[in-house]
Amino acid sequence: MTVAIKPRRADAVAAPSHRTRGGTSRRSVPWWFTVPALLLFAFVVLVPSARGVYYAFTDWDGLSPDFSWIGFGNFAEMVDDPAATQAIWHTLVIAVAITVLQNGLGLLLALGVNSTIKSRNVLRVFLFAPALVTPIVSAYLWRNLLGPDGAVNSLLGAVGLGSWRQDWLGNPDIALWSVVGVIVWQYAGYSMVIFLAGLQSIPREIHEAAAIDGAGVVRRFWSVTRPLLAPAFTINLMLSIIGGLKLFDQVYALTGGGPGHATDTLSTLIYKDAFTLGEFGYSIALAVVLTIIVSVASTGQYFGLSRAEKAAS
């Protein structure tokens, strides 16, 4: 009598697994698969960052191999440096202004193009188009438009508003807000797209039910739309606050940090101190402060928005 041996199925050969608390098995992935990526990340990011933090406590000029350890001297100098304190203030003002204006305008545009108007698809393309332009190109374009003899002043004069003509980028009182306006113009469409995706994911039946219950447009937005847009708010606010704190290219192309230090941010001041004045140790100390500000702001905002998102859901 022969015994038939049932062939073993190929899919029965499984990767190593272990049992979880509930009794089900879960395949384990060998951790050493991540070693090459971790080594590359350490070589490209962690080691240079650690060396940079070390140089923040020295008087290194960026070229000479000789430098001295000065401890917190660079950070103490930063407190007494009016250019540094002004740059920190400008950085915070730009970040807050961009976050509020860009997302407020982006939400209004998203609500507009989410309606049933026939030209909504064309409007979406035109409103999002500025976000596709390279920031440095957009900045040079607006530098010409906002010049004393630029198109903006020419247009104001042509429509009888000659008294409104300004040196938009040369006046210390309005130069910073001109920079904010350029950035909001470019990225409001980007925020619009994210809000629009959130709006289109909201079931129409919810709005219809609220309308049947007698809720008006404002009430439906505040009680229905706004809570369901919490994930879109989280993404947009995180992107705008981090981008605003790290802003460099548009500011440097538009004003170079001027007039004087009227539009200097931490990023532009870092560049000037390092590559113009040769104070690499001091500029790296400024970069460390900027990193701390970005980390604290983004972490606090993330946890705050996540808590609000959970409460809304």
Assigned token pair, 149: 């003899």
The dihedral formed by the CA atoms of 218, 219, 220 and 222, expressed in degrees to the nearest 10: 90
Q: pTM, whole model, 2 decimals?
A: 0.83
Q: Is 69:58 a contact under the CB 8 Å cutoff?
A: yes
Interval 140-188: pLDDT, tens: 999 999 998 899 999 999 998 888 999 999 999 999 999 999 999 999 9
**Domains located in the chain, CATH noted:** 73-312 (1.10.3720.10)
**pLDDT for the residue numbered 144:** 94
pLDDT in tens, 148-160: 889 999 999 999 8
Q: How far apart are CA 138 and CA 15, in angstroms?
A: 53
C-alpha dist (Å) from residue 141 to 177, 186, 235: 17, 12, 29
Average pLDDT, the chain: 86
Q: Which helix (H) or strand (E) holds 256?
A: none
Residues 60/54, Cβ–Cβ less than 8 Å: no
Q: Cα separation of 210 and 224, whole Å?
A: 8
Q: How far is CA 203 from the centre of its chain?
A: 29
